[in-house]
Chains A and B, each alone.
Chain A
Amino acid sequence: MQLIKRSTLNFNFQTVFSVIFLALVLLASDDVLADLNELADHAVFGPGDNKEGYESADYRTNSLDLEKRLGKEANLIDFVNNPPLGLPPVPIPEDNPMTIKKIKLGRKMFFDRRLSINDTFSCAICHIPEQGFTNNEIQTAVGVEGRTVKRNSPTIYNSAYLEKIFHDGRESTLEQQVWSPLLARNEMANPSIGYVINKLRAIREYDGLFEGAFQGRGPTMETIGMAFANYQRTLNAADSPFDRWYYGKDEDAVSEQVKRGFEVFMGKGGCSACHVLNKKYALFSDNLLHNTGVGFQESMGIEPKTRRVQLAPGVYTHLDTSVIKSVSRPKENDLGLYEVTENPNDRWKYRTPSLRNVSLTAPYMHNGSLLTLHDVMVFYNDGGVPNELLSPLIRPLNLTDTEIDELVSFLESLTGNNVNVLVKDAFAAPIGDISPDDPNWAHENQLKF
């Protein structure tokens, strides 16, 4: 009770993910409270443009001021050397050891909007720190010039542990992964590898940074990938209330509701068949790809004649599909793993995401089609979408409403205790916007080829 009182007095931030806050506050030690008090400066657990309750005409804003989005640099390498409770040792490639200089360089590039064809797009535009390093505001991503990306931006929390990267698992290492968004025409749209390298060489702020981090080597395809990977490998978020209970043996770390949710997760729900954990740590992913029917539904489902569209808080209408099609560009199909293997059995298979920090990463599924964790539970309880390739692990679960609520509570207990530190660190990172000394400045300083 003492803790509740203190929290009531000290907290005055927005209600985004209030359930998580409440859970943390109720269960927190004094150390945690100190950390959370620091957060009171500015919410780091959701969009500063809070839309909670927007479905209702009584919607009230709780918008945050961008000038107050201030951060604090963290010693990120600590989260690699000593991964938070619940995570295994961080796998580090032999040829790309972690160093502070590489981490800082990767972090700088991650927030640099100049690393795109028209100087408008950084990695952080789709992987927004306070939005779970994904984008809570749109279901599927939008790239340079507004080009359509067909999938939801995945979180990069704990990406150090990924064995297959991207929703379709097409990439294997973080060092290589970064070149896909840098070069994809519908993402950052750089025209070539050489263009990126030359641009980094021409931006004065990077003078000496690569050389200092890579024993004299400048920006190359390899060193750029290594620096990005170093930063991403630090974003390990765990030591959640669940971890403190399950691995830390602190019985008071989570509520009875969370514990019951975990029972459903491991038992009747069958969730842990794919979202695996063991006695020492939990990644909550089998690092495999499965067909749940979400992709099948999108590719093969029959379009409704009308679509319900929200126009304002509490105001909706139904628009004819023909009207919507009149302003529609061709939509790219999505066949999942099949696009990598061309094996027809791999149609609509997507990677099992980790569930760590999952309450921060809405909307859900590879296409962002489910907006809340409750929606996801209902989807699985109904047995996914039947199709001939549906994973045999997906079946009707017959969960009660209470069990669904308990599952959601369990999932909400998976938010890492150090998320605030990682997000605040990201806030402290400079955003690279074009200035007079840069390439492409005012039709001058064009890159030479």
Chain B
Amino acid sequence: MKIMAKIKAKWMQGSLALVGAILASTIGFHTTAMADETCMSPYMAKIVGQEDYVYVWTLGVEGLGDEQDKLVTISVNPNSVNYGKVVNVLSVGGRNEAHHSGLTDDRRYLFAGGLDSNKIFIFDVHTNPSKPTLHKVITDFVEKTGGMVGPHTMYALPGRILVSALSNNVDHGGRTGLAEFTNEGEFVAAHWMPTDENMRGAKKVGNIADGYGYDVRVLPRRNIMVTSSFTGWSNYMMDFSKMLADAEAMKRFGNTVVVWDLHTRKPKKVFEVPGAPLEIRCAWGSRNNYCLTTTALTSQIWLIYEDDSGEWQAKAVGDIGDPSKVPLPVDISITADDQGLWVQTFMDGKTRYFDISDPFNPKQIYEHVIGSQVNMISQSWDGKRTYFTSSLLGNWDKTGESDEQFFKLFKWNGEELVHEFTVDFYALKLGRAHQMRFGAYSLYSQKSNSTGTLLSQR
């Protein structure tokens, strides 16, 4: 069965299942329950149809343009006269190590974190979707959370944003936690990761409870929250080659996935998942009680699943490329029908498509070189449009001619990726392109403004 046909067939089933799932959630009370981009929170309002803009959270580069981090807005609606062009650039000051961003459940605001400065920039993306404005800056993330450093994932819960951190203000190592903010940016609570000294009620399944953090995702209908683990400030800010040559630093990577009780925010189980498990994607199907993650250093796909007896388990289910060559899997994206998983491997610049119809036996069935390096992917809900960006971390990106920085759109016809357009972030003197999030007029009962200001065209 062709992948696109599968998506079509499962579309309605999946949608209905999602609505039911959210209603069944112990904390879900929001009425809109579907996300357009497949990796977003299920609590978010959904774009119906074509997205109008992609917001690219971009790292400033010394010696390039205005050198500071910025939110870059790109028109992606083919009906716009500015299709494929940058229509707005909003510089925020400083090089904050711009990294991930996330929209509030109502999609009115975009929270974008700085892994170095610990600032969270809150952009108003609803007043004029073509021209976001800086609404507020959370500057006291470290103080408010009691010492967490490196705000990473910004994940929508009803009326709240859940922020996973990467480090701490004591040793800049990997022990860290999660924090909650209201949609207005007011601090609500901090939840530290379980450690041996304080497991916080969790069970240590293997030998490891490192207290590290990275991504967070939820499976509301099973009342489950899942977190992964990367590394602390000293490593993620360090020159990549320097770190690879530092035997002590290479010991400071996360080796755990934690399954939490979503409602109480209490950790339940700490699984041993060696080699820095990063992005987590949970299945959408009503009976698909599992999430997937990939390990950056050991290049494996791991399945976090609920077994027949209702217990949560973690299992390595496949390799990505040749792990001995460290292809470095980074961002991943699950298709809306849970049948496919896109996996980016940074070092060889490839995107790889895995058939995960049997999640215990993923099989790579397609690959394509996106550029000399590649990190993030965002695919539309119908799977037809896949957007890619290039940057991993400011001091980890490739150097010299291999340091391409781009935003690219490829169209996926079910068999191959077809290049649509590229925005060269270095030619436009913008910086390193990182996290992407979608925007649309339809979310706010506005009509498309195809005459938006064109700021950069070369």
Chain A interfacial positions (CB closer than 8 Å to B): 47-49, 51, 54, 58-69, 113, 118-120, 125, 128, 130-131, 135-140, 142, 145-146, 148, 307, 309-313, 315, 317, 319, 323-329, 331, 363, 368, 371, 431, 433-436, 440-443
Contacts and interface: CB of A to CB of B under 8 A. Distances in A.
Interface in B225-259: 234-242, 244-253, 255
Contacts of B235: 138
Contacts of B396: 327
Interface of B is mostly: loop
Given A113-B169, A148-B239, A312 B297 contact: yes
B298 A310 contact: no
Interface in B140-192: 140, 142-143, 146-147, 149, 168-175, 192
A225 B207 CA distance: 46
A46 to B, nearest CB: 11
B399 interface: yes
A171 B259 CA distance: 52
Interface in B367-409: 394-400, 402
18 contacts: A49-B211, A61-B195, A61-B210, A65-B211, A66-B175, A66-B192, A113-B142, A125-B172, A137-B173, A137-B248, A138-B249, A142-B238, A146-B238, A311-B274, A312-B253, A315-B274, A324-B241, A436-B139
Nearest to B145: A433
Contacts of B242: 140, 148, 328, 331
B19 interface: no
A58 B248 contact: no
A145 B93 contact: no
B45 to A, nearest CB: 27
A145 B140 contact: no
B209 interface: yes
Interface in B291-332: 295, 297-298, 323-326
Contacts of B17: none
Contacts of A135: 171, 234
A434 B324 CA distance: 43
Contacts of B446: none
A60 B210 CA distance: 9
B208 A61 contact: yes
B209 A310 contact: no
B275 interface: yes
B416 interface: no
Nearest to B395: A146
Given A326-B402, A442-B136, A137 B249 contact: yes
Given A66-B147, A145-B116, A327-B397, 5 more contacts: A145-B97, A310-B250, A312-B295, A324-B244, A329-B239
Given A118-B116, A137-B234, A145-B394, A63 B275 contact: no
A433 to B, nearest CB: 4
A64 B247 CA distance: 22
Nearest to B149: A120
Contacts of B252: 49, 51, 137-138
Nearest to B146: A67
Contact of B142 (A51, A69, A363, A434): A434
Interface string B272-298: 001110000000000000000001011
A63 B194 CA distance: 9
The 8 closest A-B pairs by CB, nearest first: A146-B237, A328-B241, A312-B274, A65-B198, A327-B240, A63-B195, A311-B297, A312-B275
A385 to B, nearest CB: 18
A312 B255 contact: yes
Contacts of B173: 47-49, 137
A328 B399 contact: yes
B136 A64 contact: no
Nearest to A309: B244
A288 B291 CA distance: 59
A77 B223 CA distance: 55
B246 A145 contact: no
A441 B250 CA distance: 35
A48 B239 contact: no
A49 to B, nearest CB: 5
B197 interface: yes
B118 A120 contact: yes
Interface in B83-114: 93-97
B116 A146 contact: yes
B347 interface: yes
Contacts of A64: 175, 195-197
A325 B241 contact: yes
B171 A49 contact: yes
Contact of B241 (A59, A142, A315, A327): A327
A192 B403 CA distance: 32
A396 B229 CA distance: 45
A324 B328 CA distance: 13
B171 A145 contact: no
A311 B247 CA distance: 10
A410 to B, nearest CB: 24
Contacts of B234: 135, 137-138, 142
Contacts of B347: 323, 326
Contacts of B250: 309-311
A119 B116 CA distance: 10
B15 interface: no
Nearest to A13: B197
A43 to B, nearest CB: 9
Q: Please indicate which of the listed interface residues A138, A323, A326 has the most CB atoms of chain B within 10 Å of its own CB.
A: A138
Contacts of A145: 95, 97, 116, 237, 394
Contacts of B23: none
Contacts of A120: 116-118, 149
Q: Which of B117, B169, B237 has the most CB of A within 10 A?
A: B169
Contact of B197 (A58, A65, A443): A65
A67 B251 contact: no
A128 B169 CA distance: 11
A148 B251 CA distance: 19
Nearest to A119: B117
Contacts of A313: 208, 255, 274
Given A61-B210, A139-B246, A329-B399, A66 B94 contact: no
A119 B96 CA distance: 11
A442 B96 CA distance: 13
Contacts of B209: 61, 63
Given A58-B207, A120-B118, A442-B137, A139 B169 contact: no
Interface in B107-137: 116-118, 134, 136-137
A110 B181 CA distance: 30
Nearest to A143: B237
A153 to B, nearest CB: 11
A49 B174 contact: yes
Contacts of A137: 171, 173, 234, 248-249, 251-252
Given A49-B174, A63-B175, A329-B399, A310 B147 contact: no
B116 A136 contact: no
A309 B275 CA distance: 12
A65 B195 contact: yes
Nearest to B250: A310
Nearest to A328: B241
Residue from B238, B239, B248 having most chain A Cβ neighbours under 10 A: B248
B140 A436 contact: yes
Given A442-B137, A443-B137, A68 B207 contact: no
Given A120-B116, A137-B173, A324 B94 contact: no
Nearest to B204: A61
Contacts of B397: 327
Nearest to B249: A138
A67 B198 contact: yes
